[in-house]
Amino acid sequence: MSSSGEALTPSDLEAILGPFLFRRESHDRPAVLAVSGGPDSTVLLRGAAGLQARREAVPLIAATVDHGLRPEAAAEAQQVEAWAAAVGIPHRILRWSGEKPRTGLQEAARHARYGLLAALARQIGAARILTAHTLDDQAETMLMRLARGSGPSGLRGMAIESPLQEFALTRPFLGTRKDRLLATCQLQGWPFIEDPSNENEQFTRVRLRRQLLPQLAHEGITPERLATLAQRLRRAEEALAVRARDVLCATLLRRGEGELSLDGVALQAEPEEIRLRVLALCIEEIAGEAFSPRLERLERAEARLSEALRMGGRSRVSLGGMLLTIINGTLCVTPEPTRYRGRYVSISEDDA
């Protein structure tokens, strides 16, 4: 594996990592470094160790997740442990045990990985978890979400910092190209692990990286351009989210136990995007964040309700166990009673 990128200097690494790892009066809690052993996370480990050596970094602990998906994984985790010890950073190996799904393996592994990292952060009293996601990862993520039909919320991509349970999930290299991190390892002589799954085209992300992204870059749609688009969509998303919350408050008629009632006529005066977001907020408030209907199904449900409001009629729509009802211009959102399942128009997975 070779790179044509420009290596990061020690000053570059300090500028990138320092804002998240420097000790401050208001911030001295430990940080967890997610280190797989690849070139990206190797630079994260070594760069953080450089700050710690000068006594400028908060207490650090590195963690490697052994997903148990490859025979070599256990030995690789032990190798990362040795590299961490060599630079004076404590290390933990976190193992994903139990049965593995036959489909959606990468997504399941991702959820398991973050769960294990959060558990470790909680155990040591950490404030944040740092990963080595790059600008290239951001571009791949956007294309994957685009292929799944995501709207502005999904296409805003990853944030440099986002919540993970009670912790900050931090991606300091999100504005850095992957080839610069590889070049840094090569210039410094830092060994790293090459994961063969990163070349396995049975995974969507790998196919996008190897087949589609080079073609897009040839037409000017580079990872940098995609990352800029993500930033602009994030800006628009923040404005739309604020407006949707304001409209929810303005149209709310009643908030009961497991029930919300809104002025449907007033809501209908809002643009479609705001109506969709208010509906999603209502469902999230009652069902919890774990339930997030796909955008296509939400759009179909909202279209049926809006038609009833325009015609002055009634409508009841079932969406993932929630009952959305229009009666006399009022929108009610409640859990669907089990005994009524199937009696109303259902917007389900089969419709997608």
* pLDDT tens by residue, 139-163: 999 998 998 888 888 899 999 999 9
Cα–Cα distance measured from residue 10 to residue 263, given in angstroms and rounded to the nearest whole number: 58
User: What is the token pair recorded at 46?
Assistant: 């070594």
Cα–Cα distance measured from residue 273 to residue 264, given in angstroms and rounded to the nearest whole number: 15
Longest dimension (CA), the chain: 72
**Do 139 and 21 sit in the same domain of this protein?**
yes
Helices (H), the chain: 10-21, 39-53, 73-86, 105-124, 135-147, 152-155, 178-188, 204-207, 213-218, 223-251, 264-268, 272-287, 295-311
**Do 217 and 326 sit in the same domain of this protein?**
no
Which of 19-23, 98-102, 340-344 is predicted least confidently?
340-344
> Is the per-residue pLDDT at 1 higher than 80?
no
Indicate whether 156 belongs to any domain.
Answer: yes
Whether the model pTM is above 0.95: no
Question: What local confidence, expressed as pLDDT, does residue 199 receive?
Answer: 72
Among residues 316, 343, 310, which one has the least CA distance to residue 331?
316
Residues 239-248, mean pLDDT to the nearest whole number: 97
Which of 115-124, 203-212, 326-335 is predicted least confidently?
203-212
Percent of the chain with pLDDT over 90: 69
**Do 193 and 323 sit in the same domain of this protein?**
no
**Do 161 and 289 sit in the same domain of this protein?**
no
Cα–Cα distance measured from residue 170 to residue 123, given in angstroms and rounded to the nearest whole number: 18
CATH number at residue 88: 3.40.50.620
**Do 178 and 37 sit in the same domain of this protein?**
yes
Cα–Cα distance measured from residue 144 to residue 110, given in angstroms and rounded to the nearest whole number: 15
Q: What range does the domain containing 289 cover? A: 257-351
> Is the per-residue pLDDT at 304 higher than 80?
yes
Indicate whether 50 belongs to any domain.
Answer: yes
First-to-final CA distance of the chain: 41
| Confidence category of residue 351, pLDDT binned at 50, 70, 90 | very low
**Do 63 and 148 sit in the same domain of this protein?**
yes
User: What is the token pair recorded at 68?
Assistant: 């148990």
**Do 160 and 106 sit in the same domain of this protein?**
yes
Indicate whether 250 belongs to any domain.
Answer: no
Tens of pLDDT along 42-52? 999 999 999 98
Question: What local confidence, expressed as pLDDT, does residue 188 receive?
Answer: 96
| Confidence category of residue 289, pLDDT binned at 50, 70, 90 | low
How many separate domains does the chain show?
Answer: 2
Q: Rounded to 10 degrees, what is the CA torsion of 272, 278, 284, 289?
A: 70
